[in-house]
Chains A and B, each alone.
Chain A
Amino acid sequence: MKNTQLAWLFVLPALSGLLCFVLFPFVLSLILSFTNLRLGSPLPLEFVGFKQYQRIFTDAAFLAALRNNSLFALIVVPLQTGLALLMALLVNQPLRGMVIFRSVFFMPVVFPLSLVAVVWILVLAPGPQGLLNQLLETVTLGAWQARDFLHDSAWALAAISLTSIWQGVGFQMVILLAALQGIPQALYEAARVDGANQWQQFVFITLPQLRNAIIFVVLVTTILAFRLFDQVQIMTQGGPNHATTTIMYEAVNSAFGSQQVARAAAMTVVFFIVVLLLTLLQRAVGRQQGVN
C-alpha cells in the first residue's frame, strides 16, 4: 500500500502538469468545438451542435489540409527514416573524423525551424539564378528548366518536404546511431564466422536489433508530420491553391485570422483523433511481429 501511495506522490507533479496543460485544454477545446465562439466578440456564446464539424468537412481548404498532411507523412516518414538510417550507418564507421560528420549532420536540427524556412526560401528562389535551380541545371547538364517551386502547385509540397527532411534528419540519425552502437559486436562476429556477407549482416542482424528504435522514430516523425506549420506559414502561406495547407495552419488561420475560435477547436479535435488513430495503428503493427 505504502509503495503505491509513494508512487502516486512522485507522479503527482508531472501528472498535474499533464492534466493542467494537456487534458484540460483539450476537454475545453472539445466543448468549444460545439459552440460558435469567436475571438473578442461581445455577442453571447451559443451551442450549435455539430455545425462547426459540418462546416470544416465541407470546406475545400480543410479537406486539402487533411490530404496534404497525409501526403506529407507518406513522403517524409520513409524518406527521412531511410536517410537517417543510412547516415547513422555511415557515421558509425570507425574512421577518423567521424565526430565532425556527426556534428555537421546534426547541426540543422539545432536551427529554429523558422530560420531554416527563411533560408530555404532563398535556396528555392525562382528563375535561373535560384540556388536549387542552378544546381539542378548543372547536374542535368542544362536539361532542367527553372521553376518557381514555392508557387507551383505541383512542386510546393515537395519543396516543403525537402526543407523538413533537411532539418529533421539529423535528429533521427542520432537516435538510430545510439541504437546502432548498442548492438553487441559478438553478433556480427558470429555471423562472419558463419559466412554472412555485409548485406546479410545488415538485413538479419542490424535491422532486427534496430526494430524498436525504428518504430519509435517512425512514430515520432509521423506525429511531427501532422504538426507541420512553421514552413507553411513562412514559405507558402498554404498556397498555391491549398497545395500546402495543413491542419495546424488552417486551425491557426481560423482562430487568429478569421477570429473563429470554435471552428479552430473543431479542427484540433479532428487532428487529435487522426493522431490517436495513427498511434494505435502503429503500435498494433509493431506488436504483431513479436514481443517488445
Chain B
Amino acid sequence: MVLHVWAHAGQEAERRVLQAQLERFNQQSDESQLKLTFIPERDYNAQVQAAALAGDLPDLLEFDGPYLYNYIWQQHLIPLEDLLPPALLDDLLPSIVAQGRYAGHLYSVGVYDSGLGLYARQSALQQIGARIPASAGDAWSIDEFNQILGKLAARDSDQAVLDIKLNYTGEWYTYGFSPLLQSAGADLIERRSYRVSDGSINNAAAVSAMQQLQSWIQQGYVDPNLDDAAFAGGRVALSWVGHWEYERYRHAHDTDLLVLPLPDFGQGSRTGQGSWNWGISRASRHPQVAAQFIEFLMRTDEVLAMCDANGAVPGIKSAVQQSTLYGGQGPLALFAAQLTHGVSVPRPKTPAYPVITTEFQNAFQQIRNGGDAQQALNAAAQKIDQDIADNQGYPFIEQ
C-alpha cells in the first residue's frame, strides 16, 4: 500500500531531515510505502484548500498552525488520540496539545513548536550601555525600548537599527506582531466565544501599540531588509524574528548573539507560539500506518534531529531536556521557557482564523505605510465580524 504525505518546503536542512526520516521509515516496513511531496510554503495553504475542495487530500499532511481549525471544521481530519500511544500523548508539550485539540479531540500533533524573540548583538548594546534582560519577566518596557532604538540610531550611519522582516509576506505579520497587541492588553478576537473582534483588535490599547510600531518605521529606525541580510550582515543591531533564523545568525555573529524577549507594551512581554503540525485526513484508507509514521517522527532522537536542522523548540518534553539548544542553560532556553510559562499566546483557535489573519495582515500593511491605525483596525474588525456572522459563528457539526 502506498500512502501520500505532504509537507511544506521549508529550509533545506528541514527538507533533508524529513526526507531521510521517510526513507528510514519505508525501510522498516515491507507492506507500506510512504511517498513524500514538498509544497512551497508560500502557496501551501492555498494548495491544501484546493485539494480539500477536490476531495484530493493526501493520507497525512502538515498544517500551518492555526489554519488547522478551518480544516477540522470542514470535516477533513480524524481524531488522533486513539491512534497514538498514551506515553507519547503524555510527553507532548502543553502548547502542542493545546494547538492540536479542538472540539474535544486531538486532531494534530506538532513535531516542534516555534519561538519568537528579539535577536541582538551584545557588543552594540554594551556600547550604548543598555540593560540586558535576563528573562521574559525582565523584558524591556516600551519606553526603554524606544530609548535604546534612539541611542543605537545615533551611532548608526543610516539610522536603521531594527529589522522586523518587512521583506516577508503573509502569515509572518500575524505571527510576529499579534503578540504586540496581546502585550498591550488587546487581542485579535475575544477568546470566550470567538465571535466578535470589534473591541479587541481595535481598542485603544491596540491602536496605541500599532502606533508605536508605526513610529519606529516613520522615524527611520526600521531597515526594509530587501536582501534579508540586515542583521546577519551587521547593518542592524536588533532583529525581531523567530527560531528559524537562529542558525544563520549564529554563523554570522557567534558569541556576540543574544536572544532576548520582545518588549513589554504594558501587560508583560508576550510572544508567539504554534507551528507546523501533522494531521491525518478522513479520506485516508490507512490511518494506522499514517499514525505509525507520526509516532516515528515523534521519537526523541527524530525530534532532536529535526530541531537541530531548523532551530525550533522540540515538541516533546524529553527532547527539550536532552536538547543542547533548548535544555538548561542552552542559548535558546528562552524560547522553551516562554512556551511553558505562559508568556507565549496561541493564535486564535477558530475556523475563522484564515480571515482573521488576512484582515490583520491588511491592517498591518496600511499601518506600516503610514495609514491611520484606528481606521485600519476598525476595517479589519468589521470584515472579521462580518465573516463570522456570514458563517453563523462557525458552528461545529459533529459527523
Same assembly: yes
Q: Which residues of A contact B (CB under 8 A)?
A: 36, 38-43, 60, 121-122, 125-127, 148, 151-153, 237-241, 253, 256-260
The B interface, classified by DSSP as helix, strand, loop or mixed, is helix
Say yes or no: B49 contacts A39, CB within 8 Å.
yes
Say yes or no: B383 contacts A258, CB within 8 Å.
yes
| B19 CB within 8 Å of chain A | no
11 contacts between A and B (CB under 8 A): A36-B390, A40-B70, A40-B74, A42-B397, A122-B226, A237-B365, A238-B362, A240-B371, A258-B387, A259-B354, A259-B387
In whole angstroms, how far apart are the Cα atoms of A130 and B98 in the complex? 46
Q: Which of B213-260 contact A (CB under 8 A)?
A: 224, 226
In whole angstroms, how far apart are the Cα atoms of A260 and B73 in the complex? 16
- Taking CB atoms, residues of chain A closer than 8 Å to B391 are 38, 41, 43
Say yes or no: A39 contacts B53, CB within 8 Å.
yes
- Taking CB atoms, residues of chain B closer than 8 Å to A260 are 387, 390
Pair count A-B, CB < 8 A: 66
- Taking CB atoms, residues of chain B closer than 8 Å to A258 are 354-355, 358-359, 383, 387
For the complex of A and B, list the 9 residue pairs with the smallest distance between their C-beta atoms, beginning with the closest: A240-B369, A257-B358, A241-B371, A239-B365, A40-B74, A151-B369, A258-B355, A239-B369, A241-B366
Say yes or no: B358 contacts A40, CB within 8 Å.
no
- Taking CB atoms, residues of chain A closer than 8 Å to B371 are 240-241
Q: A40-B49, A40-B74, A260-B387 are in contact. List 20 more A-B contacts (CB 8 A).
A: A36-B390, A38-B390, A39-B53, A40-B53, A42-B74, A43-B392, A148-B224, A151-B368, A151-B369, A151-B370, A153-B369, A238-B365, A239-B365, A240-B365, A240-B369, A240-B370, A258-B355, A258-B359, A258-B387, A259-B354
In whole angstroms, how far apart are the Cα atoms of A80 and B105 in the complex? 59
Tier of interface size on chain B: 20 to 34
Q: Which residues of B contact A (CB under 8 A)?
A: 46, 49, 52-53, 70, 73-75, 158, 169, 224, 226, 354-355, 358-359, 362, 365-366, 368-371, 379, 383, 387, 390-392, 395, 397
Indicate the member of A38, A42, A237 with the most B CB atoms within 10 Å: A42
Say yes or no: A239 contacts B366, CB within 8 Å.
yes
In whole angstroms, how far apart are the Cα atoms of A260 and B358 in the complex? 12
- Taking CB atoms, residues of chain B closer than 8 Å to A42 are 73-75, 397
- Taking CB atoms, residues of chain A closer than 8 Å to B365 are 237-240
